[in-house]
A and B are shown apart, each in its own frame.
Chain A
């Protein structure tokens, strides 16, 4: 099962990569994807959920929001960098999270890191160490909106 899922995803990727749609290249793709999927399916799908469909859709819905957040924060950081006084107040904040699954934890952590002004330094037993560049971004983070949205994706809310 996990083999098949991996295989299908990889094959989509292959078709997008390969510009050739003749039988020869497609069958090459089948062989290659099968090889890779055989080698790595246990690795990839270690802790993936059963209801993948919903999660993917939710994740895709989550992306625009994330991009929006990134743009907002980015402007802020650009301002910080370019303003002559450089009004930064770096700090480390700790966030206790309710997320459980690895993937959710990672998504949240990477979202934090992607959002300018905050970097996940470490995760230890459900506590995030986040380095924040200024008070504004840390408050945004502490408001918990992002965590809720991530939790929503992975149905942990």
Chain B
């Protein structure tokens, strides 16, 4: 059980790392948002599952899963709201063709 949970947490950490690197590397705000918000989601989920497994079946684990649920609910909402705000502010998404003309948020 412990080994499984360690493995899951490590995978989660890997996704978190990927997301962070994406956050740093991606060229514009929208793409970064993909990296940040989304890779994280899975990474966090995996970490939480790993910890819940490690903890065994108890109320604590249920609470940890609740945390996961809440993150699943709030994270896309937050992302959506920022994206919407960025769009409303008139930030055009970066695309490969017109690299120079982008406006940063």
Contacts and interface: CB of A to CB of B under 8 A. Distances in A.
Complex A–B touching at CB under 8 A:
yes
B76 A110 contact: yes
Nearest to B87: A121
A26 B83 CA distance: 42
Contact of A92 (B14, B41, B80, B93): B93
Interface in B30-47: 30-31, 33-35, 37-39, 41-42, 45
B83 A110 contact: no
A119 B96 CA distance: 19
Q: Which size bracket describes the interface of B in this complex?
A: 35 or more
A81 interface: yes
B63 A119 contact: no
Contacts of B87: 121-122, 129
Contacts of A109: 76, 80
Nearest to B14: A78
Given A119-B34, A119-B83, A133-B31, A114 B41 contact: yes
B84 A114 contact: no
A82 interface: yes
Contact of B38 (A16, A19, A91, A116): A116
A1 B73 CA distance: 26
Interface in B44-100: 45, 59, 62-63, 66, 72-73, 75-77, 79-80, 83-84, 87, 93-96
Q: Which size bracket describes the interface of A in this complex?
A: 20 to 34
Contacts of B35: 77, 81
B86 to A, nearest CB: 8
- Kindly list the 5 A-B residue pairs having the minimum CB-CB distance in the complex, ordered from nearest: A81-B22, A116-B38, A78-B18, A113-B76, A74-B42
7 contacts: A16-B66, A74-B39, A81-B35, A91-B95, A110-B73, A113-B37, A119-B37
Interface of A: 16-17, 19, 67, 70-71, 73-74, 77-78, 80-82, 86, 88-92, 109-110, 113-122, 129, 131, 133
